[in-house]
Structure 1
Amino acid sequence: MTRFLYFIFIFFIFIPNFLCIPIRQSRTAYNEVEARALLNLAAGAYANSPEACIKKTFLSVRPRQLHSSTNQICDEFANSCGSYSLADDINQHLYIVFRGTKSKAQLLTEGWHSLQPSRDFYGIGNANTYFFHALEALWPNVEQALVEYPNYAVTFTGHSLGGALASLASLKTVLFGLRSSNYVKLYTFGQPRVGNILLAQRHNELVPQSYRIVHGVDIVPHLPGCAKDEIMGASSHPCDPDNLERPYHHGIEIYYPHEMREDSPYFECLGAPFGEDYNCSDRLTFIPEHHFQYTYAHRHYFEHKVPPFGKLGCQELKEEEEKLPNNFESNSHEAAGNHRHSTFKSIANKIRFASQFLGIN
């Protein structure tokens, strides 16, 4: 009897830990092979032309054609947003890809808008004002592609800001009757929150094939901050699904807690609260002094530094990727020495400021 009780004790001590280990699950239709191909397309949006990344992604015989590519001014400081669409005539599939943040000024503008009140998104909920207006600037080209290929299924994708725009574009596409839900798919990488829980709930209904891929301690998916349910007495708290004002994630988080190699385990996050599964990345806490780790995780997906990877034509040149600056890093020699130190200190202060005002735990 004593031995039996001992085994029961061991079971309850260790089994819960095993159940928390991420494995290659199949509870959703998430496809990592597809996700890796879409990361190539998302990276290509950072290049002057995405053609090299398109060719790398689709090695089989064409026709696959770049339908359109556009850059539009999308805020009051003349920062630009970009997108392109790609038609696969063999499989009757359309890909609509959005570029991430292009400059430090744009990054700060996004942050400022996140502190402002959200705005109505066609009567179904509230959306982040920056993301809303950025999509409006790009929408004519998006709509043109959707109209010209009316019978094609469509996949939206993007990294960072590009993921936010892809998210709202997929929702608007179904909401406006340009596609039915079963013809729309969404894969994003390091996507920030785009709207409140009412918007998230409608997004879940209209775009059920929605996958938000999150890498480790990437901080961007936790911005802007949600309202925290502080009933639990811990340093980290789950997002409050009853708060109708603060941002809240839609869709299914696909969480890679560590590496993103081909054999790396991941979580398909379907737990509570849905959209903000507290067993996945929402359980993380963020400390300003560790901001290098957070930005590194945001820039790197599937073992590539995304913006430089795209600029290099999606070639396997990882050493060159790391040497190239990101879109919002300075290219000048003035970034050296004390100036570099003061810049990093400034960034740390901005993250501390964001932690206080955006509700990051």
Structure 2
Amino acid sequence: MGQKRLLFLLAVFTFLVSSSYGRGVLKLKSDDDRPVYNHTLAVTLVEYASAVYESDLTKLFTWTCERCNGLTKDFEVIEVIFDVEHCLQAYVGVAKDLNAIIIAFRGTQEHSIQNWVSDLFWKQLDLNYPDMPDAMVHHGFYSAYHNTTLRPAVLDAITQVKKVYGANFNIIVTGHSMGGAMASFCGLDLVVNEDEENVQVMTFGQPRVGNAAFASYYSLLVPNTFRITHDRDMVPHLPPYYYYFPQKTYHHFPTEVWVKDFSFSNFVLFGLEKVCDNTGEDPTCSRSVRGNSISDHLRYFGVELKCESWRQCSIVMNQDMERYSRKDSRGNLFLSRTVPPKDVVKTSSLSKTGISSLIWDKRDGSSCWQFLFALFHLHVVEVMMKLIPLILKFKSDDGRPVYNHTLAITLVEYTSAVYMSDLSELFTWTCERCNGLTKGFEVIEIIVDVEHCLQAYVGVAKDLNAIIIAFRGTQEHSIQNWVSDLFWKQLDLNYPDMPDAMVHHGFYSAYHNTTVRPAVLDAVKRAKESYGANLNIMVTGHSMGGAMASFCALDLVVNEGEENVQVMTFGQPRVGNAAFASYYNLLVPNTFRIIHDHDIVPHLPPYYHLFPQKTYHHFPTEVWLTELSILNIVIRGVEKVCDNTGEDPTCSRSVMGNSISDHLTYFGVELMGETWRQCNIVMGHEMESYSRKDSKGNIFLSRTVPSTDVIKTKSISKTGISSL
């Protein structure tokens, strides 16, 4: 309690100190006399950027900001543009107090941002920017502004505004997310092609849009540009920046303003705005942290920047607004305070309720052709899959074991079983859905470490002639916090008798310093006595259970002298450094780590390629399971056996690990607890003849004679169920 009070007082003191130095804004003026960042303008423009997400065009056309404390006073929307074909929205207005024309572009809907972010990882520089040698840009962002109805409508609106309000108006362009990318192309277009001089751009959470050459041109032509990035917002990190190839990668233009949150007990006390250097890729700003937050992307300066509903391409409009509205030949909609051009058609009422509703219909002719093409593509995929093996396998030159798909889908079932909280069912477990893959399997020992909330079992699979050891992973309901903790976990333990080998203390201790290790080793010994000494040993586990499985296998080889040990894990995190990975690979070469598509956990703790000897490092061999899908329907998975480095850049490291759902499902099998109470188990009275407890209350169910140092379990309930 005293420590929390001390932290709170320290946070308040820091807040007061920061408040006394520039109101929490760190500003600089560069040697080349670049414009200075204006905090008040930023908190004003974020409101304008928020307004463009309004789907009710009546409200947007008459928008006033009640919460803005006069910052947007006397603002008037002049033109609203809604591109139905490409689902884009923008507006042009006049802010008289700023003596400026405001142009705002809408970003991507929050409900589709996961897929959009995923797509950006693969996006290549694919378009030469006109009249700029070596300048390459993102084709999609460029086209969203230049090749749609937005550009001519925006330029026409500016012309109309200057005729009515005067030619001496400045122009301020803003937008959020993809809207920020469009805003930057608009600002550049106004300078280069429309000869506008007083153009300022300020965006929020925008992605990279071009390479270093483009960023250099842009910085010279539109120097009054500020990109606001919020703490760990993931979108400004996309498409990725590869510093090993600075001339060929995406590169931000300057100037970034990084808003860093300072919080206490999950309450944000204040934000510190750091104006970054003029390179566009300041390593001390947003690039100094991992961009992994969507929530930071959807909120800037406390203002939400997202659509009101999940139907981003659905808008509503009062009939009163129809005198301001017009449509072009493609059905794109415009609301304007100026006289409509002659080449557009007057909008008619779409309903009798007083509301005109325009919804992007995916059943139009274009989409039907896309659907038919998708069906044709599906057929082609099916044909190709018959010609190409489902599993891409290789056997390396040094005779490493070959990956076995059938064994993988068998072991994932054994891994799934360890999540069962009913020990009676687990002790008598048979897999009805497994089509005979687990036939003849028998559980020998179940271990429940109550003190540390761990669970494992040892069994015999007669058809595999193997002892199966399975470890349970982390509960799905606590995985968010567990994943968050892993981001900061340091290598903090020297592995015994391995020079320079460092490992994760928590994972090492979960196996070595709990009741799990002695119970497993004892069960293996008794299984060999009962079933024969020539049994192989297969160790498996999911998530944290996979980490424990790897330490178990290494222990069996090094300390128990076992020779025929195989490891196959699912979605396991990194457990040690490169030196440990090298030792492990030599001692337990028959190891496969299965990773499902964008599973987040195998990316943790992070791998920092700039410090290869000091960072966490996976051991080989990874098998990356990617999914081929059409129209969001998974057709089938392809399993790629990766190289023998453990960190193959063409496998899971080639994508962003951002999916928890991919972590909880492997080969269609769910790997998670049955209830949110992971440390709650039940056991029928009939199992008590097999059960025992040690002095710490840990539970063991065994088919062999219990050891002499354990205490017989007593009935805890009169209902026929013993519940812990």
| Distance (whole Å) between structure 2 residues aligned to residue 88 and residue 171 of structure 1 | 21
Is the contact made by 2:25 and 2:274 (CA closer than 8 Å) also made in structure 1? yes
Change (3 A) 1:25 1:116: closer
CA pair 102-359 structure 1, distance change in 2 beyond 3 A: closer
- State the partner residue of 1:207: 222
- Choose the corresponding residue for 2:250, options 244, 247, 252: 247
Provide the residue aligned with 1:276 in structure 2.
281
Structure number with higher relative contact order (C-alpha < 8 Å, ≥ 6 residues apart): 1
Tell me the residue number matched to 2:648: none
Where does residue 333 of structure 1 map in the other structure?
A: none
Q: Residue 100 of structure 1 aligns with which residue?
A: 107
SS state of the match for residue 258, structure 1? strand
1:145-294 correspondence runs (5 A): 145-148=157-160, 149=162, 150-180=167-197, 183-229=198-244, 243-259=246-262, 264-270=271-277, 274-285=279-290, 291=292, 294=293
3-state DSSP of counterpart to 1:213: strand
Residue 218 of structure 2: SS of its match in structure 1?
helix
Match of 1:140 among 141, 152, 155: 152
1:61 and 1:83 mapped to 2: Cα distance? 18
CA offset at residue 146 of structure 1?
2.7
Judged with a 3 Å threshold, the aligned counterparts in structure 2 of structure 1 residues 282 and 52 are, in CA distance, closer, same or farther, namely farther
Tell me the secondary structure at the aligned position of residue 297 of structure 1.
coil
Write the mapping of 1:1-361 to structure 2, written as runs, cut at 5 A.
Answer: 24-28=25-29, 29-48=36-55, 49=57, 50-51=60-61, 53-56=63-66, 57=68, 59=70, 64-73=75-84, 78-89=85-96, 91-102=98-109, 104=111, 108=115, 112=119, 115-124=123-132, 125-136=135-146, 137=148, 138-148=150-160, 149=162, 150-180=167-197, 183-229=198-244, 243-259=246-262, 264-270=271-277, 274-285=279-290, 291=292, 294-307=293-306, 311=308, 349=599, 356-357=653-654
Q: Contact between 1:115 and 1:358, CA under 8 Å: does it hold in 2?
A: no
Distance in 1 (alpha carbons) for counterparts of 2:295 and 2:72: 36
Q: Give the paired residue count.
A: 288
In structure 2, distance between residues paired with 1:66 and 1:107: 32
Provide, for residues 252-309 of structure 1, a one-character-per-residue CA deviation record: whole Å limited to 9, x for no partner.
11111215979532211016xx1000111112235xxxx5xx111111111232225x
Name the SS of the counterpart of 1:68 in structure 2: strand
Q: What's the offset of the Cα at 1:145?
A: 2.4
For each residue in 1:215-274, what CA deviation from the matched residue of structure 2 results, as whole angstroms up to 9, or x when unmatched?
111110000011224xxxxxxxxxx6xx33221000211111215979532211016xx1
Alignment partner of 1:164: what SS? helix
Q: Which has the higher helix share?
A: 1
Q: 1:184 to 1:164 in 2, by over 3 A?
A: same
Q: Letter of the aligned partner of 1:168 in structure 2?
A: F
Give the Å deviation of 1:152.
1.5
Structure 2 counterpart SS, 1:143: helix
Structure 2: 5+ residue stretches without partners: 1-20, 30-35, 314-475, 481-570, 572-595, 604-625, 627-650, 658-724
Residue matched to 2:615? none
Q: Is the 8 A contact 1:253 1:268 kept in 2?
A: yes
Cα pair distance change 1:143/1:228, threshold 3 Å: same
Alpha-carbon contact 2:138-2:209 (below 8 Å) kept: yes
Asked if the contact 1:224–1:358 (Cα under 8 Å) also holds between the matched residues in 2, the reply is no
Deviation at 1:143, TM superposition (A): 1.0
Q: Over alpha carbons, which structure has the higher Rg?
A: 2
Give, as a single letter, the amino acid of the residue that structure 2 aligns with 1:123.
D
Q: Give, in whole Å, the separation in 1 of the partners of 2:282 and 2:151.
A: 31
Measure how far apart 1:101 and its partner are: 0.6
1:55 offset after TM fit, Å?
3.8
Cα separation, partners in 2 of 1:167 and 1:58, compared to 1, 3 Å: farther
Structure 2 letter corresponding to 1:127? V
CA distance in 2, matches of 1:355, 1:170: 37
Which one-letter code corresponds to 2:300 in the other structure?
Y
Question: Amino acid of the residue matched to residue 183 of structure 2?
Answer: A
Gap change, CA 1:350 and 1:71, over 3 Å in 2: farther
Distance 1:83 1:277, change over 3 A: same
Q: Normalized against structure 2, the TM-score is what? A: 0.36
Distance 2:79 2:26 in 1: 37
Q: Deviations over 1:86-120 (max 9, x none)?
A: 02356531000000013755864675475244212
Q: Alignment RMSD, CA only?
A: 3.8
Where does residue 234 of structure 1 map in the other structure? none
Q: Which of the pair is proportionally richer in strand? A: 2
Residues 163-199 of structure 1: CA deviation (Å, up to 9, x unaligned): 111111111111113301xx11111111100111111
Determine helix, strand or coil for the equivalent of 2:172: strand
Letter in 2 for 1:193: R
Residue 39 of structure 1 deviates from its aligned partner by 0.7
Shift of the 54–126 alpha-carbon distance from structure 1 to 2, 3 Å rule, reads farther
Distance change in 2, residues 1:347/1:25 (3 Å)? farther
TM-score, L = length of structure 1: 0.68
For structure 1, which runs of at least 5 residues remain unmatched after alignment? Answer: 1-20, 230-239, 312-323, 329-339
